[in-house]
């Protein structure tokens, strides 16, 4: 079956609105002869004369009158689809965005982000979900709009990434722990009882710590392994254990605990914001990305963690 020429809709709209081949041609910047040929095609396509001569002018047939409003609406809808996006009205924006991140990120940045969103776009709802793995199918399927992560080998290559801030791993113990006093040397750190953290895609921190210790002829004694930093810090509160966690991500989770710089030469890690290409030009999504960047920059402490421009 031959597909109809949709450009004829614009021609038909002009003809029915103007009631004149000459004026319709001027409206569409065509020659009168080109418009006459288009009218002939429309007549052949619809099986109706559409416009017939009456005296010196043209009048619409009943079929044309029945089509006029429908065609006009179709043309307006098509123009709206193809028109560049208008300026985003945050006050009228009603939308739910899903952000996948760690518990630590939500605790550290969530309150400020929610406050900023509520102040600028009260109709927007943020939905935070956890990160059970590095699988990107949820983002491809549209279930997740944004994600915070350390870009690594498991990151889907099609995702767009922008650095948010740099972070570093630090040691955390209870205030009664021996490492809460005195200088923490690599030997003292290694001799303690450690909590290991095993999360999908987590390589930069724990592996780098163990490698740095190995170069010094030392090895951590890991007595338990947990699935996240918040669980590790909860265990620190209840025993003589050591947790090694990202400083910036765990600011709120470490309240009441003693933190110290690791006595090791470790490169910082970069936390990035990830999103699918299909949302890159979306005005609402761009606005939310800006909110996340601004909140992270505003809450970046001096010293070990720094925001990325």
pLDDT tens digits, residue range 215-248?
A: 999 999 999 999 888 899 999 998 799 999 999 8
29-83 pLDDT, tens digit each: 999 999 999 999 989 988 999 889 887 788 889 998 888 888 888 888 887 777 7
State the pLDDT at residue 200: 57
Residues 159 and 274 in one domain: yes
Is-contact 152 272, C-beta < 8 A?
A: no
Residues 135 and 194 in one domain: no
Does the residue 51 lie in any domain?
A: yes
Q: Please give the full DSSP string across 12-62, using - where no structure is assigned.
A: HHHHHHHS-HHHHHHHTT--HHHHHHHHHHHHHHHTS--EEEETTEEEE-H
pLDDT band for 111, please (50, 70, 90 cuts): very high
Does the residue 1 lie in any domain?
A: no
Does the residue 177 lie in any domain?
A: yes
State the pLDDT at residue 229: 87
Does the residue 161 lie in any domain?
A: yes
252-291 pLDDT, tens digit each: 889 999 999 999 999 888 999 999 998 998 999 999 999 9
Domain range spanning residue 238? 169-267
Residues 212 and 64 in one domain: no
Residues 235 and 184 in one domain: yes
State the pLDDT at residue 220: 94
Does the residue 229 lie in any domain?
A: yes
Residues 179 and 126 in one domain: no
Residues 158 and 177 in one domain: no
State the pLDDT at residue 236: 96
pLDDT band for 302, please (50, 70, 90 cuts): very low
153-188 pLDDT, tens digit each: 778 888 899 999 999 999 999 999 999 999 999 999
Residues 201 and 120 in one domain: no
* pLDDT, mean over the chain: 87
Percent of the chain's residues with pLDDT above 70: 91
Residues 68 and 120 in one domain: no
Does the residue 68 lie in any domain?
A: yes
Residues 185 and 239 in one domain: yes
Does the residue 212 lie in any domain?
A: yes
71-107 pLDDT, tens digit each: 888 888 887 777 766 678 899 999 999 999 988 888 8
Residues 261 and 193 in one domain: yes
Nearest to 169 by CA among 183, 189, 188: 189
**Last residue of a domain, which of 25, 51, 82?**
82
Residues 194 and 256 in one domain: yes
CATH number reported for the structural domain that contains residue 245 in this entry: 3.40.190.10
Does the residue 2 lie in any domain?
A: no
Helices of type H across the chain = 7-18, 21-27, 32-46, 62-82, 103-120, 137-140, 186-191, 204-215, 229-237, 283-298
Residues 153 and 279 in one domain: yes
Percent of the chain's residues with pLDDT above 90: 47
State the pLDDT at residue 303: 38
**Last residue of a domain, which of 82, 117, 141?**
82
What's the domain count of the chain?
3
The rounded radius of gyration (Å) of the Cα atoms in the chain is 31
Residue located via tokens 């392994």? 225
CATH number reported for the structural domain that contains residue 38 in this entry: 1.10.10.10
State the pLDDT at residue 304: 38
Strand 124-129 with 95-100, pairing: parallel
- At 63, is the secondary structure helix, strand, or coil? helix
State the pLDDT at residue 309: 43
């Amino acid at each position: 079956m031959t597909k109809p020429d949709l450009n004829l809709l614009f021609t038909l709209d002009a003809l029915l609105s103007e009631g004149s081949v000459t004026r319709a041609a001027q409206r569409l910047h065509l020659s009168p002869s080109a418009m006459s040929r288009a009218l002939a095609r429309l007549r052949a396509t619809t099986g109706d004369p559409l416009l017939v001569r009456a005296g010196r002018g043209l009048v619409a047939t009943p079929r044309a009158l029945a089509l006029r409003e429908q065609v006009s609406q179709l043309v307006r809808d098509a123009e709206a689809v193809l028109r560049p996006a208008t300026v985003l009205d945050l006050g009228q924006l009603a939308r739910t965005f899903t952000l996948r991140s760690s518990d630590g990120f939500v605790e550290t940045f969530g309150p400020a982000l929610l406050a900023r969103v509520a102040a600028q776009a009260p109709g927007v709802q943020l939905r935070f979900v956890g990160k059970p793995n590095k699988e990107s199918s949820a983002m491809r399927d549209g279930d997740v709009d944004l994600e915070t992560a350390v870009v690594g080998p498991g990151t889907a290559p099609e995702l767009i990434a922008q650095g948010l801030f740099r972070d570093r791993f630090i040691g955390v113990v209870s205030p009664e722990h021996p490492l809460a006093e005195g200088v923490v040397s690599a030997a003292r750190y290694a001799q303690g009882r450690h909590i290991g953290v095993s999360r999908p895609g987590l390589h930069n921190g724990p592996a780098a710590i163990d490698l740095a210790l190995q170069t010094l002829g030392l090895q951590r004694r890991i007595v338990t392994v947990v699935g996240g930093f918040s669980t590790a810090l909860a265990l620190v509160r209840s025993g003589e254990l050591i947790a090694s966690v990202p400083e910036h991500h765990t600011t709120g989770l470490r309240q009441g605990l003693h933190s110290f710089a690791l006595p090791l030469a470790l490169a910082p890690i970069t936390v990035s914001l990830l999103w699918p290409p299909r949302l890159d030009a979306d005005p609402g999504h761009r606005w939310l990305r800006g909110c996340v960047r601004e909140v992270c920059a505003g809450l970046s402490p001096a010293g070990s963690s720094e925001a990325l421009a």
